[in-house]
Chain A
């Protein structure tokens, strides 16, 4: 199906484990983003990518790693999960240049770290 998808939709893991959240988009958008949503904080940018092999930190990058070997995929890895990383994670993509930045969001992954 066309659009942007995330997997898994729900994940429960334990402190210290590595977790990878997947994001896939079919629009060939250049830009992709990872956000986390927490009560009282809205959506905060973790990492973003302007193109394949180009990534940069956002507002809250600590504890996360990203890669983008293909335009359509942008996985987010928690190398050693902590309870503070319990959150809802959204991936987004955008095909536009800076200045006109409508982003399209995936359905989210709810991650619980025990």
Chain B
């Protein structure tokens, strides 16, 4: 059974940093691209970042590029999101998702339960 479990969410002050983790199991982790997606309270889904299977390629949405870093440890089946220079508007539930080639030809077919990041003074 595919499982994704996020952790690391917390209350942090504006300008602070946080590192989120996503533990993957039930599939061959190093065969898949992985993504981070967030959802601010009462708002829609916002795709944030993606990383390729060997970690050599990444991409980000403009709103976090230069502040957030995505990485992975294939030996530990883990995905990470390093978030720096956090802003109040980064407050959201953060999800990791199994991406391409999920289900063979799809994007995010499995999601974690999410971890809450609150940025507030």
- Please indicate whether A and B come from the same complex rather than being unrelated chains: no
